[in-house]
């Protein structure tokens, strides 16, 4: 256990060091990309708490990101609230919305929950269009001040770090055990005294709060604009894919998922065969399918497999000598 903990702390230190180092040396454009990775990291972390640890599927987390994002944009636009101050507010409002979705979700599971949350992802971006007087309709609404890429990079990664610590603390304790027991067997969890309604809605709320913060930062990184298109179904699907690539039920894989979702579409804008512009979706979709076929447990599962193979190799080696 201590060896595992040491490697994990080491890995965290390496990632944190890289983030600081890259932040100091990268160009402004790449800092924007880096901020995107941090934002996906937060959202995927939140979704992983829900899907990976509690076993409830959601294809609608883009909706919670939209709620967080619009909170920030509206507060900043109408009340000139400090941007940092809008982040906890975005988290709180998304948390409440998450609870509100989580309560009806208690009655659903599996494909039915997937369908309901998918519908959520499709319909929430329509709401700003309906009330366009306040939200600017399809043109979107802009924050009062527009932060620089350096600012957003710093803030996003600090938030990502805080989110990671929060998720770790939550999952290692009582709530985390309750979540995992619900995932493994609802019946067993309930008969051991775990309250299903409380912990399942809690998981939804927490996970939505993460998504809300991610959404708020997402608005800031797109020049402070909150637009319905930006929060479309694709965003929800991207986060889901990120969680699958990371490996469900693994906090440490999250960074791989975030890198995948944040960077692969950007890198693959120009593919030799397909040319510029439309290559990203082809490559992205193709890789997603390949990963699901080849790596059922995502990157974290792959690392775990390699690790155990490495250990058994050492064991047989020492046994031979």
Partner 1 sequence: MVAIARKTKLSTGASLPVLLGIVAACIFLLVGSLSSTIFAQQTVAGLSQGAIFASLALALVLIYRATEVINFAQGELAMATTYIAYQLTLWGLGYWLAFFLTLVISFVIGLAVYGVLIRPVQHRSVIALVIITVGLFILIDGLVTWKWGADLKFMPAPFGNQVYHAGGVSFSRQDIGVLLVSILSVILLWILFQFTKLGLAMRAAALRPAAASLVGVRVDWMLAVGWGLAATLGAVAGLMTEPYVFLQPSMMQAVLLYAFAAAVLGGLESPAGSVIGGLAIGVFLNLIGQYVGFATSELRLPIAFAVLLVILLFKPTGLFGRRQVRRV
Cβ distance to partner 1 smaller for residue 69 or 279: 279
Cβ distance to partner 1 smaller for residue 59 or 208: 59
Cβ distance to partner 1 smaller for residue 3 or 130: 130
DSSP 51: I
Close Cβ partners of 159 (under 8 Å, ≥ 6 residues apart):
38, 42, 87, 213, 217
Which two tokens mark 62? Answer: 């883009």
Nearest-angstrom CA–CA distance, 6 and 22 = 24
CB of 190 to partner 1, least distance (A): 11
Rg (CA), the chain: 20
Nearest-angstrom CA–CA distance, 92 and 65 = 12
Could you give the C-alpha distances from 320 to 202, 307, 309, 314, 315, in angstroms and in order? 51, 20, 16, 10, 9
Close Cβ partners of 111 (under 8 Å, ≥ 6 residues apart):
none
CB of 261 to partner 1, least distance (A): 11
CB of 136 to partner 1, least distance (A): 14
Nearest-angstrom CA–CA distance, 69 and 90 = 7
- The residues of the shown chain that bind partner 1, judged by CB under 8 A, are 51, 57, 59, 104, 107-108, 110-112, 114-116, 118-120, 122-124, 126-127, 129-130, 187, 233-234, 237, 240-241, 244, 248, 274-275, 278-286, 288-289, 292-293, 296
The answer for 136, left when phi > 0, alpha when psi is -120 to 50, beta otherwise, is: left
CB of 118 to partner 1, least distance (A): 7
Close Cβ partners of 54 (under 8 Å, ≥ 6 residues apart):
179, 180, 182, 183, 199, 200, 203
Cβ distance to partner 1 smaller for residue 34 or 262: 262
Cβ distance to partner 1 smaller for residue 289 or 306: 289
CB of 189 to partner 1, least distance (A): 13
Alpha-helical (H) ranges within the chain are: 2-25, 28-48, 54, 61-79, 83-105, 110-123, 127-130, 132-135, 149-172, 174-184, 186-191, 196-221, 233-246, 254-267, 279-294, 298-320
CB of 292 to partner 1, least distance (A): 5
CB of 82 to partner 1, least distance (A): 32
CB of 296 to partner 1, least distance (A): 6
Cβ distance to partner 1 smaller for residue 119 or 267: 119
Cβ distance to partner 1 smaller for residue 161 or 301: 301
Cβ distance to partner 1 smaller for residue 10 or 197: 197
């Amino acid at each position: 256990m201590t060896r595992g903990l040491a490697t994990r702390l080491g890995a965290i230190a390496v990632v944190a060091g890289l983030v600081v180092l890259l932040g100091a040396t990268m160009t402004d454009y790449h800092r924007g990309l880096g901020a995107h990775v941090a934002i996906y990291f937060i959202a995927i972390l939140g979704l992983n708490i829900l899907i990976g640890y509690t076993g409830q599927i959601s294809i609608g987390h883009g909706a919670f990101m939209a709620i967080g994002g619009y909170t920030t944009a509206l507060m900043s636009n109408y009340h000139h609230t400090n941007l940092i101050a809008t982040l906890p507010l975005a988290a709180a409002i998304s948390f409440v919305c998450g609870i509100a979705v989580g309560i009806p979700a208690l009655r659903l599971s599996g494909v039915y929950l997937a369908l309901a949350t998918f519908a959520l992802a499709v319909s929430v971006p329509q709401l700003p269009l309906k009330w366009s007087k306040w939200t600017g309709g399809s043109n979107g609404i802009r924050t009062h001040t527009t932060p620089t890429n350096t600012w957003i990079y710093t803030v996003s990664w600090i938030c990502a770090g805080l989110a990671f610590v929060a998720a770790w603390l939550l999952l290692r304790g009582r709530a985390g055990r309750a979540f995992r027991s619900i995932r493994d067997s609802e019946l067993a969890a309930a008969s051991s005294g775990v309250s299903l309604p409380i912990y399942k809605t809690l998981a939804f709320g927490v996970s939505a709060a993460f998504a809300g913060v991610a959404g708020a930062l997402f608005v800031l990184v797109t020049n402070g604009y909150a637009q319905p298109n930006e929060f479309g179904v694709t965003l929800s699907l991207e986060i889901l894919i990120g969680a699958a690539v990371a490996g469900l039920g693994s906090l440490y894989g999250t960074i791989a998922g975030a890198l995948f979702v944040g960077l692969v579409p950007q890198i693959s804008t120009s593919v030799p065969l397909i040319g510029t512009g439309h290559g990203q979706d082809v490559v992205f979709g193709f890789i997603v399918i390949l990963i699901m076929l080849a790596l059922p447990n995502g990157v974290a599962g792959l690392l775990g497999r390699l690790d155990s193979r490495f250990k058994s190799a050492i064991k047989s080696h020492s046994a031979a000598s």
